[in-house]
Structure 1
Amino acid sequence: MKIFYAIQATGNGHISRAIQLHPYLQKFGTVDFFMSGNNASLDVNLPIKFKSNGCSLHYSKCGGLNYWDIAKNIKPIQMFNDAKSLPLKNYDVIINDFDSITSLACKLQKVHSVQFGHQASFISESTPRPEKKSIIGEMILKHYAPSPKHIGLHFEKYDSFILPPIIKDEIMQAEPKDLKHITIYLPSFQQDCLERAFNKLPEQHFHWFLNDVKFKHTIGNITYYPVNQKQFNESLITCHGIITGGGFETPAEALYLRKKILSIPIRNHYEQECNAAALKKMGVPVAYEVGNKFDLIIENWLNTETVIPTIQANSIPDTLQFLFDTYNSN
């Protein structure tokens, strides 16, 4: 069997999931990956056969999306040409993790795909949304990468086609410890937006993962790390808690390890607002604005006892078998 797997590289989560799935997919056949976008900062240890600049996210300085930078970097003609050139008819199964170019290619070449991943869960109206829905956000979630079939991943089973999160082997096999540090992963914030708040809590040590950091070093109560999967896993497994965005993979792994979480969704990022709504419903604290009193928000979070919800991990062999059966069903 020849498998085409499209990765939306607007963040590290899609790539991390693909890396975890790769050895399991190889048991079903040969796998070629298509990577669309250029936001990821992880080392991509995958057989990437096709690449496109696609559509990438750009952030403002302190926790929001920069829509102007996103728009000016979109090249529709190039994306159309990329879609035409993908040889999808050479493949038996096309798996699409929320990539618009692959969806367009399927339409142009009259082949079908299955949308697989977290964004597929939002096809269901039962998946949590914020109190104020965004019409544009809903359109993007439902029509950015259309597919006739969907298999979603989410914190809980909100619908029949939604399955538990893919948890990395390193996390599932780990023995969690509490070494008292707080892990920080907030890629939409630049360093000078938050550093002062962390320095105001000198008794608390932080492990801060930043795209611009080249090597691990410690200044005061902060150890700065480059975005490195191995080091991040070690920090997460041994942390007291984690402060992260409103993404999916990192909160899912933290929940699986039963770690304390403070979620700060990216401003005007509707999918993250939806994830934050789901986390909030589960009892996880969410902060929508950090401002000049972020240190007080952190202090209050650390001093407040919260119930940490339990989530299941995905059975990858069963999920992939379900995926291939779904793909081949009428």
Structure 2
Amino acid sequence: MKIFYAIQATGNGHISRATQLYPYLQQFGEVDFFLSGNNASLDINLPIKFRSAGCSLHYSKCGGLNYWDIVKNIRPHQIYKDATALPLKNYDIIINDFDSVTALACKMQKVHSVQFGHQASFVSEHTPRPEKRSLMGEMILKHYAPSPKHIGLHFENYDSFIHPPVIKDEITQAEPKDLKHITVYLPSFQKDCLEKAFHKLSDVEFHWFLNDVPTKHKVGNITYFPVNQKLFNESLINCHGIITGGGFETPAEALYLRKKVLSIPIRDHYEQECNAAALKKMGVPVVYEVSNDFDLIIETWLNSPIIYPKMQANNINETLQFLFDTYRD
């Protein structure tokens, strides 16, 4: 069997999930990966056969999306050209992790795919949303990468086609410890937006992962790290808690490890606002705006006793078998 797997590289989570799934997918057949977008900062150890600039996210300085930069960097003619060039009819199954180029190619070439991943869960009305829904956000979630079939991943099984998150082997096989530091991963924030707040909490050690940090180094109570999967896993496994965005994979792994989580969803990022709504239902504190009292918010969070529901890890073999059976139906 020949398998085409499209990865949306607007962040590291999609690549991390595909990397975990790859050896399991190989049990079903030969896998070729398509990488679309250029926001990811992880090393990619996958057989990437096709690439496209696709559509990528751009951030403002302190925690928001820059829609102007997103729009001006989209190249419709190139996207059309890339979609035309994908030889999808050569594959027995097309798995799409929320990529618009692959969805367009399927439409043009009259083949079908299965949308597999976190965004697929939003097809269900049972999946949590914020109190104020965004019409544009809902349209993007449902029409950005349309597919006739969906298999979603989320924190809880909100619907029959939604499965638990894919947790990396490094996490499920770990023996977590509490070495008292706080891990920080907030890719939409530049350093000077938060540095002062962290330094105010001089008795708290922070491990801060940033895209523009070339090497590990320490300044006061902050150890700066480059974005590196091995280093991040180690920090997360041994942290007291994590401050992160409103993404999916990182909060899921932290909750699986029974770590404290403080979520700061990217401003004006509707999917992250939806994830924040789900996290709040689970008891996770959510901060929507970072202001001058952020150090006090962190201090309150650290001093609060928080008990989360236990996060279940995906049974990957079962889920992939369900995926292949769904595709054939």
TM-score range, shorter chain: over 0.9
Q: Which runs of 4+ in 1 moved over 2 A?
A: none
Partner residue in 1 for 2:219: 219
State the AA in 2 paired with 1:135: L
Measured after TM superposition, the shift of residue 307 of structure 1 is 1.4
Partner residue in 1 for 2:147: 147
Preserved CA contact (<8 Å) 1:290 1:297 = no
- Distance in 2 (CA, whole Å) between partners of 1:252 and 1:113 is 26
- Distance in 1 (CA, whole Å) between partners of 2:322 and 2:253 is 23
Partner residue in 1 for 2:62: 62
Deviations 1:31-53 (A, max 9, x none): 00000000000000000000000
- Distance in 2 (CA, whole Å) between partners of 1:267 and 1:292 is 17
Measured after TM superposition, the shift of residue 28 of structure 1 is 0.5
Q: What SS does the aligned partner of 1:127 have?
A: coil
Measured after TM superposition, the shift of residue 246 of structure 1 is 0.0
Q: What SS does the aligned partner of 1:291 have?
A: coil
State the AA in 1 paired with 2:35: M
Question: Structure 2: any 5+ residue segments left out of the alignment?
Answer: none
Measured after TM superposition, the shift of residue 293 of structure 1 is 1.0
State the AA in 2 paired with 1:85: A
Q: How does 1:182-221 map to 2 (within 5 A)?
A: 182-221=182-221
**1:134 pairs with 2:115:** no
Question: Structure 1: any 5+ residue segments left out of the alignment?
Answer: none
Q: What SS does the aligned partner of 1:271 have?
A: helix
Preserved CA contact (<8 Å) 1:128 1:275 = yes
Partner residue in 1 for 2:326: 326
- Distance in 2 (CA, whole Å) between partners of 1:311 and 1:43 is 27
- Residues paired across the two proteins, number: 329
Partner residue in 2 for 1:12: 12
Measured after TM superposition, the shift of residue 313 of structure 1 is 0.3
Measured after TM superposition, the shift of residue 138 of structure 1 is 0.2
State the AA in 2 paired with 1:86: L
Partner residue in 2 for 1:88: 88
**1:40 pairs with 2:40:** yes
State the AA in 1 paired with 2:68: W
Measured after TM superposition, the shift of residue 213 of structure 1 is 0.4
Identify the range of structure 1 (286-295 vs 244-253) with the bigger mean alpha-carbon deviation: 286-295
State the AA in 1 paired with 2:273: E
**1:279 pairs with 2:279:** yes
Partner residue in 2 for 1:316: 316
Q: What SS does the aligned partner of 1:184 have?
A: strand
Partner residue in 2 for 1:294: 294
- Distance in 2 (CA, whole Å) between partners of 1:43 and 1:227 is 9
State the AA in 2 paired with 1:82: D
- Distance in 2 (CA, whole Å) between partners of 1:303 and 1:288 is 20
| TM-score normalised by L of structure 1 | 0.99
| TM-score normalised by L of structure 2 | 1.00
Partner residue in 1 for 2:72: 72
**1:270 pairs with 2:266:** no
- Distance in 2 (CA, whole Å) between partners of 1:258 and 1:199 is 26
- Distance in 1 (CA, whole Å) between partners of 2:185 and 2:78 is 33
Partner residue in 1 for 2:303: 303
Partner residue in 2 for 1:125: 125
Give aligned-pair identity as a percent: 81
Partner residue in 2 for 1:259: 259
- Distance in 1 (CA, whole Å) between partners of 2:175 and 2:307 is 20
Q: What SS does the aligned partner of 2:292 have?
A: helix
- Distance in 2 (CA, whole Å) between partners of 1:53 and 1:45 is 19
State the AA in 1 paired with 2:302: L
| Root mean square deviation of aligned Cα | 0.4
State the AA in 1 paired with 2:63: G
- Distance in 1 (CA, whole Å) between partners of 2:156 and 2:322 is 18
- Distance in 2 (CA, whole Å) between partners of 1:311 and 1:172 is 11
